[in-house]
Amino acid sequence: MDRIRAGFHVECEEQIEQLRDALGIVEAACDRGCAPDPEAVNSAFRAVHTIKGGASAFALGPLASFAHRMEGTLEGLRSGTVPVDGATTKALVRATDHLADLVSACSTGDATSTEGPATADPFANFAPAGAGRATAAGDADQAWRVTFRPSETLFATGNEPLFLLQALRALGASGVTCDTSALPPLAGLDPDRAYIGWSLALPGDRDRSEIVEIFDFVEDVCKFAIDRDASDCETPPPVAAPLQAPRPGTEPARSIRVDLNRVDRVMNLVGELAITQSILSQSIRDAGLATHSDISPRLEALSALTRDIQDTVMTIRAQPVKPLFQRMGRILRETAEALGKPARLRTEGELTEVDRTVVEQLADPLMHMVRNAVDHGLEPVEERRRAGKSDEGTITLTAAHRAGRFVVELSDDGPGLDRPRIRAVAASKGLIDATTEMSDHEIDQLLFHPGFSTATSVNDVSGRGVGLDVVRTAITRLGGRLSIQSDIGCGTRFSLSLPLTLAVLDGMIVRVAGQVLVMPVAAVIESAAVRGLERRNLGPGRDLLRIRDKFVPVCDVADALGYRTAEEGPLHAIAILTEAEDEVRSALVVDAILDQRQVVVKPIRSILAQPRGISAATILGDGRIALILDPGDLIRSKTQAATPAASHHIGGSLG
Amino acid sequence: MGVNILAVDDSRTMRDMLALALGAAGYTVRLAEDGQQGLETLENFSPDAILSDINMPRLDGFGFVQAVRRIERHRSTPILVLTTEDAPELKARARTAGATGWIVKPFDAPKLIRALQMVVR
């Protein structure tokens, strides 16, 4: 029963998601002033209906009755008695929030108080007891006389008088007489029609409703009468109809719920398998066996299989961001309401899938960002009107896969960042010197400074202490980056990029100053020999290379990581054109490209400061450790002070 | 041979419950998620009785019952519809579609079995 109950909560969540989807469609139609798609209304109705059905099954009174009320409104929409307008849809959206609260209250709250004592009957607490058995004492002495005559169409409905008689016998029927007066001659008999009627006696202490219930299915396809019988009748003890006992069996379920820990364990084991397979392949090649036998194709097959397993395990954990986005819709509504700023959420790419852990970890930072966007990003209504914008602000949340990373963008259509004010606030708080020359980009970065807040009052919306610095720290901890872009008058956009997963990576194995490094293939656009490329120099450390008629900045990987300085006369051999998640292209220069393969990502434990330009490490087929490059960070580190990273320091701390 | 039941409901919870209750009572149960899938199941399954929800995506209970009745083999297979309202017009609609009877939700296992015993061996 607990299993079914847990399943019910999962189903409720799914139904609420369906309900939100459907209401979104209704809302959009309403905004355009057209009639909503009837299927959307039906879908919403069905979702609420399903929740109601389950809730009453589990005797979850408040949930069932609220769902019932909601269902009434949706039924009204369906039949046209309730108008489809903004007020109705808003009420329904809010009601959905409440419904979601009731569902989670039922799953966390002490729902057991509504249940009776534990019992073997799984449905014991399922429904209120049937009608009372109290009978008028005076009548109990008098037996019931029941007569019924099926109409000719009774069989066509799938009913069978035999079962009625059996049920009546179970109530203690006796003295059965058969009325064959309507029976036609054999020649004229239609076997699909009912001709025979019955009359019988039942014990007087039976409740009338018990008898009526038997005729529930046939009341419109038979004539029946239940009367008190004056004549005496002997009532034999009831004979319980024995139930046949066929083998129980059910259709196998199409999905199962699995503990996430088990999936994670499989994931780790597959990672180990991939490394072992890679080491084995290398050993066989080194031993010179591969070329002399049919080992080679089998090794290939093993490698393909390992990769397949890895991909499949990944998809098990992958989840669309949709539920996360829907939660943000609610945060936005509540924030907008609390601040009296009308706002709506627009979402794109909500079916983008990303590792479950990433979705979970993203919820809190994203929530702060949404609140922040409504609170600080959107201007008050009067200001919006002056700027010729609609009263209602729009917050857009998009998700996409870009350059092998998962990118979420949150933008508002507010006035953009007030940079003079940000500067003034930062100066007044002593974060900067008021006279310092600062670029727009540098001013924007002040928002991420710990303790920075432009809000003049501490309200309960953005909240004290949880500023953008906290959000950025949380994102960085996930291996992500948070950046900000703002255009005066048109709004502000936050971009958040995260790795798709922390488990595997398609890597290009490169050599730099004698070190073997891994470049994420997803970031690579193309590679070319440096020798054949036109080169320009715009000053110290500002080299450009011309690739496909475009000059791109050059980053010497060996120099950036501190393996050797640019002045040492590097053996610049290959330029790898990369694109970071902010779509900025750069050329990374390495000595050679050695191989391309999937590597298992081993995070670098936090006891070390995260070296710039390095995202993680891996173990190669020969058992050596190789660092995995983070091209975007590498390029940024070149413009700032690069922190040299030495691989031998990191080797001992792999996860 | 046991008594075979086809239960059609779009709610997984309801399907779980029906499977549990019917299984415990010794029936053999096949499940379908909506009317359409119910019809597909019937292509190679001849149940002794059918239980069907009304509100379902793709093909609802009324449509499903009508379609079943058009199949010669299932012309008189007992069909019970599961409803949440005890409304006469709903029952009338179900009857017109060809339903044998109805079970008003919420129902407990004894009520479910009692109702089934009214229509199958």
Nearest neighbour of A167 by CB, restricted to B12, B19, B117? B117
Distances, alpha carbon A310 to alpha carbons A240, A305, A400, A596, A637, in Å = 59, 9, 22, 17, 33
| DSSP-derived 3-state class of residue A627 | strand
Q: Which tokens go with A524? A: 């690579």
pLDDT of A478 over the 50 cut: yes
Q: What is the pLDDT of residue B30?
A: 92
| Cβ pair A250:B31 closer than 8 A | yes
Please give the residue that has the higher pLDDT: either B39 or A522. B39
Domain ranges of chain B: 4-119
Interface contact A126-B26, CB threshold 8 A: no
User: How many alpha carbons lie under 13 Å from residue A354 in its C-beta half-sphere?
Assistant: 28
CA distance A73 to A80: 10
* Confidence band, pLDDT 50/70/90 cuts, at residue A62: confident
CATH of the domain spanning B4-119: 3.40.50.2300
The answer to whether the Cβ–Cβ distance between A214 and B23 falls below 8 Å is: no
Please report the sign of the dihedral spanned by the C-alpha atoms of residue A524, residue A525, residue A529, residue A535: negative
Chain A residues touching B84 at Cβ < 8 A? 49, 52-53, 56
Contacts of A217 in chain B (CB under 8 A): 100-102, 118-119
Q: Do A56 and B79 touch (CB under 8 A)?
A: no
pLDDT value at position B63? 92
pLDDT tens digits for range A354-382 = 887 778 778 888 888 898 888 888 888 89
Which tens digit of pLDDT belongs to each residue from A368-419?
889 888 888 888 889 889 888 888 899 999 998 877 678 999 999 988 888 8
The confidence score (pLDDT) of residue A583 equals: 57
Q: Is the pTM of this model over 0.90?
A: no
Q: How far apart are CA A139 and CA A142, in angstroms?
A: 5
Q: What is the mean predicted confidence (pLDDT) over A248-255?
A: 50
pLDDT of residue A248: 42
Interface of A with B in 122-151 (CB under 8 A): 122-124, 126-127, 130
**Nearest-by-Cβ selection for B118 from A50, A126, A217:** A217
**B96-112: average pLDDT:** 84
Answer yes or no: do B119 and A121 touch at CB < 8 A. Answer: no
> Residues A104-152: pLDDT tens digits?
887 765 443 333 333 232 223 322 223 333 333 345 567 888 888 888 7
Asked if residue A371 lies in contact with residue A331, where contact means CB atoms within 8 angstroms, the answer is: yes
**pLDDT of A592-638, one tens digit each?**
888 887 777 777 765 666 677 887 888 877 778 889 888 877 877 77
pLDDT-wise least confident of A316-320, A337-341, B55-59:
A316-320
Rounded-to-integer distance, Cα A53 and Cα A75, Å: 15
Closest Cα to residue A86, out of A128, A133, A33? A33
At B68, the pLDDT band (50, 70, 90 cuts) reads very high
Are A423 and A599 contacting, i.e. CB atoms less than 8 angstroms apart?
no
- Give the separation between CA A317 and CA A218, rounded to whole angstroms: 52
A62 or A455, greater pLDDT: A62
pLDDT at A456 over 80: no
- Per CB-CB distance under 8 Å, the chain B contacts of A166 are 117
CB contact under 8 A, A46 and B10: yes
Tokens 């989670």, residue located: A104
Closest CA to A497 of A478, A522, A520, A470: A478
Query: The complex's ipTM?
Result: 0.78
- Condensed to tens digits (0 to 9), the pLDDT of residues A532-563 reads 788 887 777 778 888 888 888 888 888 888 88
DSSP string, B49-63: EEEEESS-SSS-HHH
Residue A235, pLDDT score: 42
Pick the closest to residue A268 from A320, A231, A317, A332 (CA basis).
A317
Phi-psi region of B26 (alpha: psi -120 to 50; beta: other; left: phi over 0): left
DSSP state of A591: S
Using 50, 70 and 90 to split pLDDT, how confident is the model at A245?
Answer: very low
- Cβ neighbours of residue A77 closer than 8 Å, sequence gap 6 or more: A26, A36, A41, A84, A88
Residues 227-256 of A with CB under 8 A from B: 241, 243-251
CB contact under 8 A, A122 and B24: yes
